[in-house]
Amino acid sequence: MALLCLILPLCSAYAAAPGTTALGFNAAQAGAVWGAALAFIAPRTLEPLGIPRMAVWGLSGITALDPDLTVQDQSGKLLLYGPNRVIFATTTPAPTDAGAWGVACAAVAAHAFTVSPALRRAGTEGVIRSFFDELFNHFDPYSRYEAPREADEDRAVRLGHAGLGLTLGREGRAILIARVAPSGPADQAGMTEGMAVLAINGQSTANGHLAALQESLHGMAGTHITLTVRPAKSLPQTIDLTRGLVPTQSVFGAMDKTIAVIRVTGFDRDTGEQFASTLATLMQGTPHPTGVVIDLRGNRGGVLRQSVLSVDTLLSHGTIIRTIGRDPASDHVFHAEGADLAGGLPVIILVDGATASAAEVFSAALSDNDRAVVVGSATLGKGLVQSLTTLPGGGELYVTWSRMIAPRGWPLQGLGVFPQVCVSLGTNVLAQQITALKSGHDMLAKSLAETRAARAPMPLAEILAIRDACPATVGANGYFAAATALIDDPVAYHAALIRPLLAADAGTGSSASHGT
């Protein structure tokens, strides 16, 4: 302690007022970002961590950039060490003052910046990012920081791109509307595929380059554009449109003979509405569908609320998902409040090892409520929910703040969704399972009962043992053949549902029946 007292006066020359810039380092920006982040994270983590501990974890990002520098919290001081010396010291703020900790961390980083070429090469944004990289090394894989440019790109995906929701095409010399995005400005104005586009803002489209014409439709949200169009067998008309956010198209539907097939690529801002619209359209088709296949393979999830809304189109009652966290605001129970637009038809959900998050919620909800049969392999097992905030400067922070619990009480995190019909064990085993289902028996009954009886926390070895009964895979064969077989045979479909399986397993005295 005496040594420290002798060194500190020698370091005072390095001191800089909060918010100053040292050789290009923007301390004010870093302090504001880190302070806001610590304030947001502290009450939301699944386990209490404390602002001082998180700040020191983040400051180890300086060491990651320059191994000759280290930061320690000792005796109420934040100390920046270089080789064999203290470069800078500052008093640690009050443990709960996130803003002051952000400023203190920025002061340490600013002094490190003055002595480290590596930090100067990284620049202010690189140092900010390194702070979060090292901080989140102590968290789960899904908590993360996105720099402003990355955050802008992600926001565009979540919210949609500003434009009209029109895709143009060419037929001979004519420019036609090739596609209209649901819920976009053009769709709301009544524009449809096949309309000829004669002019854009009064300029003729004749002989125009297709890519340039398409680009001219884009612009800032809220700006106006006029299109002169000619519907089939009608006179031309000029329509004034206001550019707006066009939801990302994430739901695609088609009929495969008598089976309605819906592909969902992600759960974005408008997915719930797109899903309901697509399902309703297919149900009104001719011939009337005999069943519904929902393809979630490769679906990495997205917005939890949109998954819940999509489930609502097939489930009129029951629990969809429950979220539990340390922050009381993270605790929710989502109940089905919709109507079954499929009218009770058999529903098959296709999943694989890349199906994750909100897509797992969708699968678990319909499976646990006996409304669908899941076909595929064990899914990814992302059962954590992130809370999102925008930081000063436009970056974004995703922080895990709750765990997702399936309707029957088992955790999605790590375990994932275990399918009722497994494709990852090979086509021969799949054929044997379908044959068994047609006779009213399921070869996976014991494994399914074990997954539904599982409760958090679970040892990793136990999770892996359960998942090994139908290993996660991508690209296996037999999905649609299995789905068709189940839809065509009511006995097989009923045998694959969760409730009969669990009842039968309980009757055999399986250990799975003793789940808490």
The predicted model scores a pTM of 0.79
DSSP 340: -
Domain boundaries along the sequence of the chain: 2-139, 161-246, 251-385+402-507
pLDDT for 14 beyond 80 = no
Under the phi-then-psi rule, with left for phi > 0, alpha for psi from -120 to 50, and beta for the rest, what region is 322? beta
Q: Give 332's pLDDT tier (boundaries 50, 70, 90).
A: very high
pLDDT digits (tens, 9 = 90+) for 239-284: 999 998 787 889 999 999 999 999 999 999 889 999 999 999 999 9
CB contact at 8 A, 64 and 70? no
pLDDT at 161: 65
Calpha distance 117→103 (Å, rounded) = 22
CB contact at 8 A, 69 and 84? no
Question: Among 51-65, 209-223, 391-405, where is mean pLDDT lowest?
Answer: 209-223
pLDDT at 151: 80
pLDDT for 225 beyond 50 = yes
pLDDT at 5: 34
pLDDT digits (tens, 9 = 90+) for 497-508: 987 655 544 433
pLDDT for 17 beyond 90 = no
pLDDT for 1 beyond 50 = no
Q: How many CA atoms, within 13 angstroms, populate the side-chain half-sphere of residue 47?
A: 6
pLDDT at 325: 95
Tokens of 224: 């106006």
Q: Which residues pair with 91 in a beta bridge?
A: 77
pLDDT for 3 beyond 50 = no
Q: What is the CATH number of domain 251-385+402-507?
A: 3.90.226.10
pLDDT at 461: 94
pLDDT at 503: 53
pLDDT digits (tens, 9 = 90+) for 406-420: 999 999 999 999 999
The CATH H-level superfamily of 161-246 is PDZ domain (2.30.42.10)
Nearest CA-CA partner of 289 in 222, 344, 249: 344
Calpha distance 18→171 (Å, rounded) = 63
